Amino acid sequence: RTLNARHNLALTLRLLGRYAEALELDRKNLADRRELLRPRHNYSLSSENAYALDLRLLGRYGEAQSVQEPSVEVHRAVMGPDNPQTLAAEQNLALCVLRAGDRAAAQVRLGRLLERAERVLGDNAPLTLRIATSYAFTQRAHGNLDQAREIGEGVMEQFRIALGPRH
C-alpha cells in the first residue's frame, strides 16, 4: 500500500507540474518495487514508465529514452504486445523519440501504435484517444494538416460522446 500511495503521490505531483519532485518519488518507488517485487513485475514496469515520463517532462530526453526502450521490450515479453500497459509504455517511448528529435521515427511508431490500440482497445478507449492525440501532433509537425485535423476532430467527437455535450 505504501508503494501504491507513493506512486499516486508522484502522479499528483506530475499533474501539478512538479516534475522534479515526482521524479524523486518515482525513482525511489522504482528501486523499491524492483527489490521487493522483482524487475519484471507489472508494478515495477509501471514505475519504470513513470520514471521515464518524469525524465521526459524534465527535458532529459536521452535519459528517458534509454530507460524506456528496454522497458518496452520487457513489457512486450512479460505482458504481451497488446496489453494496455505495454501500449502506454510504447506511447511514452514514441514521445521520448519525438522529443529527442527524431520526428519521422516517432510518427511511424505512433501510427502503428494507434492502429494496434484501435484494434485492441477500440476507437473510444481513453488510451487510444491519447495515442491518437499524440499521432495528430506528429502529423501536424510534418505538415500533414488535413490528417492532423481529421484525427483531432475524431478525438474531440469521441470525448464529446463519452463525456456529454456539457462537459
pLDDT at 22 over 90: yes
List the grid coordinates of 80: 504481451
Residue type, 126: P
The DSSP letter of residue 60 is: -
User: 3-class DSSP state for residue 138?
Assistant: helix
Contact 9, 24 (CB under 8 A): no
Residue 123 CA: distances (Å) to CA of 12, 104, 107, 161: 27, 24, 19, 12
Region 141-154 average pLDDT: 93
Does residue 166 register a pLDDT over 90?
A: no
C-alpha cell at 124: 473510444
CB atoms within 10 A of CB 31: 13
- Residue 167: pLDDT above 80? no
Percent of the chain with pLDDT over 70: 100
User: Model pTM?
Assistant: 0.92
So what's the pLDDT on residue 102?
Answer: 94
Q: How confident is the model at residue 147 (pLDDT cuts 50, 70, 90)?
A: very high
* pLDDT tens-digit series, residues 32-84: 999 999 999 999 999 999 999 999 999 999 999 999 999 999 999 999 999 99
Neighbours of 80 (CB within 10 A): 11
